[in-house]
Amino acid sequence: MSDKKHLIVVGNGPVGHQFLESIAASGKAGDYHITVIGEEPRHAYDRVHLTAWFETREAASLNMVADGFYEEHQITAIANEKVEGINRADKIISTDKGNTYQYDTLVLATGSFPFVPPVPGHERDNCFVYRTIEDLEAITAASKDAKVGAVIGGGLLGLEAAKAIKDLGLETHVIEFAPRLMAVQVDDGGGALLRKKIEDLGVKVHTQKNTQNIGDGETAKHKLSFADGAELETDILVFSAGIRPQDALARQSELEIGERGGIVINDNCQTSDPDIYAIGECALWGGRIYGLIAPGWDMARAAADHVLGGAEGKTFTGADMSTKLKLMGVDVASIGDAHANTPGAKCYTFIDEQAEVYKKIVVSESGEHLLGAVLVGDAEDYGNLLQFALNKITLPEHPEAMILPNLDGSASVGLGVDALPDTAQICSCNNVSKGDLCAAVQGGATTVGDLKACTKAATTCGGCTALVGQVLNAELTKLGVEVNTDICEHFPYTRQEIYHLVRVGQIKSFEQLLEKHGKGHGCDICKPAAASILASCWNDYILQPEHAGLQDTNDRMLANMQKNGTYSVVPRMAGGEVTPDGLIAVGTVAKKYNLYTKITGGQRIDLFGATLDQLPLIWKELIDAGFETGHAYGKSLRTVKSCVGSTWCRYGVQDSVGAAIDIENRYKGLRSPHKLKMAVSGCTRECAEAQSKDVGVIATEKGWNLYVCGNGGMKPRHADLFASDIDTETLIKYVDRFLMFYVRTADRLQRTSVWLDNLEGGLDYLKKVIIEDSLGIAAELEAEMALVIDNYQCEWKTTIENEERVKQFRSFVNVDGGDKDIVFVQERGQIRPATEEEKARNEDLIAVA
Amino acid sequence: MSWTTICSLSDINPNAGVCALLGEEQVAIFKVNGQIYAIGNKDPFSNANVLSRGIVGSLNDTLAVASPLYKQHFNLETGICLEDETVSVPCYQVRTEGDLIQIAI
């Protein structure tokens, strides 16, 4: 125990945490007493996605530390304590709380601090920076009494801050010293388009403005005075004029510091004291500070490897600073030598003012290699271009084809992923190489979702998703895995293709479909799939004689078959609301037919043990009592769960029950590739657990937050926030489009969660299609949904009103009566199916009521 | 052997099945493209009387019904399980007389 070495990490940000994760992953964490000390009140959180805090206003959503991580690896994590001194001679650090800690190895991951230009007045009230959750909380609090907000700095972080201020409902200004936005990453042409797009969003951009004074305003709190004589009044001011390495601790302990700041490190991330490492934005390697997350993580991995003895030989030898991001909904990407500073470099530029797209590539003098690129408005080429640049792949004869739109519909000149070496880094966020992906495919991964799960590729920024998909397909092909996506032997099509054939060909029955596009007699795979598609498209009564034989077990009898051949019955209780009379009616029916009753997870009541011939009788009574079918048997909307909401709850901010009932009644009966579950919560406490549903709605003070593609069940998935603070009309519009798009494009039996994980382009793409209507299909989707809603019928009501249909529920075609083999026993005051043993003993058996 | 009339052709939906009770025996009767087939109704994997409620179709040109419980397939002409040939259900002779379906017992 006592010979364990003391390893201390100063700074618990994303990079410090990555270091700890790397140590933990090596399995050698137990060889050390590990302590991490952070000055912020909370442990490591995702600073890269800081702006996402505004979506939930909950710090927990940005947390990077897995539950139990510190305990499992016996790491002591200290928050709210600032390390103030290093005694290198005795290897002791001291803190502002008066504590001292002994170290053998020290890692400085102190990050950076925002640079605030020394303009007179910069220390006034309501002047902020944008780095921590506390900064965001302060900005939010100040915004309540503010009308105007301004950001000084038009770089990447400044635009993030501007988005936050805009989302807080303030008139927003961005003030930039340089002649264009994002001056480092983007050239004049790209900057001009970026500016236009951001101004179209209602943000006012002021370039070439040198702020000289901040004083009292007349119409707002502050007045900014610029060198050119112009003025601007604002209530809130956020400084985002760049970062400076947080190297104070290192300076004070006389470690080597760069001329313009930064703790000098070698390739192992060691400082001038070999027992002290520095990683992330506080470190200076090769005269350069790396202000991006990926290089910070690379340093963390290299330092961890070296601390552990260098078994893997990882070093940090600089990093590519290419970036792709979305700023206020605008795609921006920059690769390598974006400004064509390399001698002899030549540029190709493509500008489409109609679609607002700017693309430029920079190639070497010989035209052989790609040196850099700038993309604004459409960054889809980023992955391909980056691979060309990083791996020095020889460019095609006409490199301009890589950024020109392919008008004739031919495949774009992309990079065959085969051209990439195994070492090519595909996912830079998580350091996943092409070789790693190929190994995972060889190990059995067959979908993008599998690869995400086992390699973490494409799980951080998602920029590489398309490329990951290409590597997957190429590798599967190489392995001789014929990627057969046919639904079954009877149709050489995917579910999605069959859907289109049905919709476009106006096909109304399985016979027509088989005759036109299939062969054989069909089977239990294609028949239910076709039945579901026919219902999604035309919403006919599913027990029409020509449809009945297609239906899956449960749809066939409009009830859920249980293990002994009996059925369970679930009447709809929209939103989980039921009257006392309704409850009594359900109870009366259950008692009369001696059914086992249970409350479901979806806030309604399930009645078990009904025989085939009892089903119409039971439903007759339920319908007379005012109930309708709950579609518990269908691949369709099950329930919309709700909490009690603002009508009763003292915390509720909207009528969640009312909304849940409206939503359930709107989408009931919609047939889909798999079952659908939804929920509405009346406030952020989320008692309805909406974030585990396919569609989740959470009330806010301004309207609703919409979440999509969550799942509980077998493979839980937290839903993604899709739209914030929208009104009810917009909510319904988005859900209409979302559901129909899912119905159109998902595979058979694919829940929305898996569908999204495998959707190329992921959540961003989905938002584009649904919110921005990028495919121009929104009106169609809404019309298709309207048709389904118009044609809704309670299938049980239709059934019991038709004698011929009721006959289909007889147990026997030739005699009356029920199946004598069905017997029950009593348990906890109700029936349950008898086991084979109990049947053989033939004691205390209960026959069907 | 004698032929017993069970029901008329129109009592069975196209490409679907019904169950008939013959004494204590339950028989699943299917109509596929106008042809009639009859096998036992008891699913040997679940011991529940459910095969008549399965989906009929073809697998590699063999006509079969899929058990609605655990989805094993049974050959409509022989009663043999396609997934496990050691398991089978009884098979019955059937014929149509005009509009009537008859089974041999």
Question: Can you give the three-state secondary structure of A624-640, one letter per residue?
Answer: HCCCCECCCCCCEEEEE
A813:B33 CB<8 A = no
How far is it, in rounded angstroms, from Cα A423 to Cα A420?
Answer: 8
Instruction: Say yes or no to pLDDT of A318 above 90.
Output: no
Check the annotation: does A643 bind a ligand: yes
Nearest CA in chain A to B49: A565
A819:B49 CB<8 A = yes
Does the structural domain B3-104 have CATH classification 2.102.10.10? Answer: yes
pLDDT of residue A234: 96
In this structure, are residues A203 and A172 in contact, taking their beta carbons and an 8 Å threshold? yes
Instruction: Say yes or no to pLDDT of A99 above 70.
Output: yes
Residues of B in contact with A807 (CB under 8 A): 11
Tell me the per-residue pLDDT of A366-389, one tens digit each, with 9 for 90 and over: 888 999 999 998 888 888 888 888
B18:A813 CB<8 A = yes
Average pLDDT of the residues in A231-247:
93
Tell me the two tokens of residue A96. 């502002």
* Percent of chain A at pLDDT exceeding 70: 98
Shortest distance between the Cα of A528 and any Cα of chain B, in A, equals: 9
- Cross-chain CB nearest to B63 (options A490, A521, A545): A521
Residues 50..89 of B with a Cβ closer than 8 Å to A: which? 50, 53-61, 63-64, 66, 68-69, 71, 73
Q: Which of A306, A264, A257 is nearest to A284 (CA)?
A: A264
* Higher-confidence position of A721 and A53: A721
The answer to which of A292-296, A620-624, A631-635, A770-774 has the lowest mean pLDDT is A292-296
Tell me the two tokens of residue A29. 């964490």
What residues of A are in the B interface, CB distance below 8 Å? 489-490, 520-524, 526-528, 545-546, 548-553, 556-557, 561, 563-565, 612, 807-808, 811-815, 817, 819, 821, 836
Query: Roughly how many angstroms between the first and final C-alpha of chain B, as a whole number?
Result: 5
User: Which DSSP symbol is given to B88?
Assistant: B
Average pLDDT of the residues in A209-220:
92
In this structure, are residues A234 and A149 in contact, taking their beta carbons and an 8 Å threshold? yes
Nearest CA in chain B to A820: B24
Q: Which residues fall within 8 angstroms of residue B63, CB to CB, at 6 or more apart?
A: A521, B32, B37, B56, B57, B75, B76, B77
* Percent of chain A at pLDDT exceeding 90: 62
In this structure, are residues A619 and A796 in contact, taking their beta carbons and an 8 Å threshold? yes
Residues of B in contact with A544 (CB under 8 A): none
Residues of B in contact with A556 (CB under 8 A): 53, 55, 68
User: Which DSSP symbol is given to A146?
Assistant: -
B100 close contact with A: CB closer than 8 A: no
Check the annotation: does A687 bind a ligand: yes
pLDDT of residue A410: 40
CA atoms within 13 A on the CB side of A337: 15
Tell me the per-residue pLDDT of A133-170, one tens digit each, with 9 for 90 and over: 899 999 999 999 899 999 999 988 898 899 889 988 89
Residues of B in contact with A811 (CB under 8 A): 19, 21
Residues of A in contact with B13 (CB under 8 A): 545, 548-549, 808
Tell me the per-residue pLDDT of A588-599, one tens digit each, with 9 for 90 and over: 999 999 999 999
Instruction: Please report, for chain A, how many H helices and E strands are present, in that order.
Output: 27, 40
Shortest distance between the Cα of A449 and any Cα of chain B, in A, equals: 27
Instruction: Say yes or no to pLDDT of A479 above 90.
Output: no
Instruction: Say yes or no to pLDDT of A68 above 60.
Output: yes
In this structure, are residues A426 and A468 in contact, taking their beta carbons and an 8 Å threshold? yes
- Cross-chain CB nearest to B16 (options A549, A561, A836): A549
Residues of B in contact with A819 (CB under 8 A): 26, 49
The answer to which of A93-97, A727-731, A744-748 has the lowest mean pLDDT is A744-748
Check the annotation: does A282 bind a ligand: no
Residue A489, number of CB atoms within 10 A of its CB = 18
Instruction: Say yes or no to pLDDT of A475 above 50.
Output: yes
Give the pLDDT band of residue A771 (cuts 50, 70, 90): very high
B10 close contact with A: CB closer than 8 A: no
Q: Which of A645, A651, A647 is nearest to A679 (CA)?
A: A645
Domains and CATH numbers, chain A: 5-112+245-307 (3.50.50.60), 127-241 (3.50.50.60), 495-551 (no CATH), 636-790 (3.30.413.10)
Shortest distance between the Cα of A745 and any Cα of chain B, in A, equals: 25
Instruction: Tell me which of B3, B9, B12, B13 to substitute to probe the interface with A (most A C-beta atoms closer than 10 Å).
Output: B13
How far is it, in rounded angstroms, from Cα A169 to Cα A143?
Answer: 8
Tell me the per-residue pLDDT of A387-406, one tens digit each, with 9 for 90 and over: 888 888 888 888 888 888 76
pLDDT of residue A456: 84
pLDDT of residue A51: 80
Residue A827, number of CB atoms within 10 A of its CB = 9
Residues of B in contact with A815 (CB under 8 A): 21
Residues of A in contact with B68 (CB under 8 A): 553, 556, 561
In this structure, are residues A680 and A690 in contact, taking their beta carbons and an 8 Å threshold? yes
Give the pLDDT band of residue A77 (cuts 50, 70, 90): very high
In this structure, are residues A497 and B38 in contact, taking their beta carbons and an 8 Å threshold? no
Residue A336, number of CB atoms within 10 A of its CB = 19
Tell me the per-residue pLDDT of A25-51, one tens digit each, with 9 for 90 and over: 888 888 999 999 999 998 998 887 788
Tell me the per-residue pLDDT of B69-89, one tens digit each, with 9 for 90 and over: 988 999 999 999 998 899 999
In 3-state terms chain A splits into helix, strand, coil percentages (rounded to 5) of: 35, 20, 45
Instruction: Say yes or no to pLDDT of B35 above 50.
Output: yes
Give the pLDDT band of residue A482 (cuts 50, 70, 90): low
- Cross-chain CB nearest to A527 (options B26, B55, B59): B55
Instruction: Say yes or no to pLDDT of A461 above 70.
Output: no
Check the annotation: does A269 bind a ligand: no
Residues of B in contact with A553 (CB under 8 A): 53-54, 68-69
Q: How far is CA A359 from CA A190, A278, A337, A352, A409, in A?
A: 8, 37, 14, 9, 20
Residues of A in contact with B34 (CB under 8 A): none
B12 close contact with A: CB closer than 8 A: yes
Average pLDDT, chain A: 90
Tell me the two tokens of residue A56. 């939930």
B46:A563 CB<8 A = yes
Instruction: Tell me which of B55, B61, B70 to substitute to probe the interface with A (most A C-beta atoms closer than 10 Å).
Output: B55
- Residue A636's beta-bridge partner residues? A671
A813:B16 CB<8 A = no
pLDDT of residue A573: 97
CA A118 from chain center: how many Å? 40
